[in-house]
């Protein structure tokens, strides 16, 4: 898979697993224009790559991602006098990263190794599984800058993961959330010592990658759709159809034969 890598490190640590590491460690992997565009291109390529069955997203150095690099974003950064329509387009381009992560057919594991703030938090929320280093810290700091704390899908994802009350606490105060609190509230499924974080994330991703790709994709989609289902009936309807579709594949038939 050929992609630009000025701000990303990309490797295959296990069969079927692609590891994408945000690589601006001196800026705690803050997203500048180059990283935004490279990440968008890379994720779009991954979505079309049938050899990739699971993705690990993490950051280099001490941070996962500290948000947008306001000081050194690049020529695309808007000044205070920019027209509203330009600001909307900028916001939509940033939010597009979250949509692309969420819509990947592959399972995505976010390995949060340190500061995970703003756009970084939004990216981690769009992942299917989040595991955290004991050194991780989370925050939605936009409200501290006089902006809305609801951006890049956070008002959609965060309440669904930690509940509306906890999401309101974090988003309205902009306070820093420790790894322990994130674990206690269910933001991450487990905490790992820093030196074992990537190893554990790859283990999880590899376990998923060894499963039937269609079964994984249909499970991911059902989770995304049914969390907002109107009731049990529509949720069961989608599950029933997905199960019939996955049962009819050669992959499923081969796997069933090993259990008989």
Q: Please state, as a whole number, how many other Cβ atoms lie within 10 Å of the Cβ of residue 56.
A: 27
pTM strictly above 0.85: yes
8 Å CB contact between 167 and 158 = yes
pLDDT at 257: 66
Residues forming a β-bridge with 177 = 138
Task: Give the residue extent of every domain in the chain.
Answer: 8-209, 213-257
Is residue 128 helix, strand or coil? coil
8-209 CATH fold: 2-enoyl-CoA Hydratase; Chain A, domain 1 (3.90.226)
Q: Which long-range contacts (CB under 8 A, 24 or more apart) does 4-10 make?
A: 4/38, 4/41, 4/42, 5/38, 6/34, 6/38, 7/32, 7/34, 7/35, 7/38, 7/39, 8/35, 8/38, 8/39, 8/42, 9/60, 10/42
What pLDDT is attached to residue 1?
55
**Are 2 and 42 a contacting pair, CB within 8 Å?**
no
pLDDT of residue 249: 75
Report pLDDT for 28: 97
Query: Along the chain (260 residues), what's the average pLDDT of each consecutive run of 10 residues?
Result: 78 97 97 96 96 98 95 84 89 94 97 97 98 97 89 94 97 97 98 98 98 94 91 88 80 64
What is the DSSP code (8-state) at residue 186? Answer: T
- Alpha helix positions (H), the chain: 33-47, 84-103, 119-126, 154-162, 164-173, 179-184, 197-209, 213-226, 232-247, 250-257
């Amino acid at each position: 898979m050929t992609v630009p890598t000025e701000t990303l490190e990309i490797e295959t640590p296990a069969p079927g697993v692609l590891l994408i590491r945000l690589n601006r460690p001196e800026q705690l992997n803050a997203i500048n224009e180059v990283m935004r565009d490279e990440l968008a291109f890379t994720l779009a390529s991954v979505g079309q790559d049938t050899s990739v069955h699971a993705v690990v997203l993490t950051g280099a150095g001490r941070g996962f991602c500290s948000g947008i690099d306001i000081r050194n974003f690049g020529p695309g950064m808007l000044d205070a006098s920019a027209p509203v329509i330009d600001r909307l387009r900028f916001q939509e381009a940033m939010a597009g990263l979250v949509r692309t992560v969420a819509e990947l057919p592959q399972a995505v594991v976010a390995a949060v190794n340190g500061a995970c703030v703003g756009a970084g938090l939004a990216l981690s929320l769009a992942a299917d599984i989040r595991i955290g280093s004991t050194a991780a810290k989370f925050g939605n700091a936009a409200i501290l800058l006089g902006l809305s704390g609801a951006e890049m899908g956070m008002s959609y994802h965060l309440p669904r993961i930690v509940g509306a009350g906890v999401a309101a606490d974090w988003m309205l105060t902009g306070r820093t959330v420790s790894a322990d609190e994130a674990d206690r509230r269910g933001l991450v499924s487990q905490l790992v010592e820093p030196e074992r974080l990537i190893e554990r994330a790859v283990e999880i991703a590899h376990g998923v990658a060894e499963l039937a790709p269609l079964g994984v994709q249909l499970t991911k989609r059902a989770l995304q759709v049914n969390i907002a289902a109107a009731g049990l009936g529509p949720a069961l309807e989608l599950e029933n159809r997905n199960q019939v579709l996955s049962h009819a594949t050669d992959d499923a038939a081969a796997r069933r034969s090993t259990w008989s």
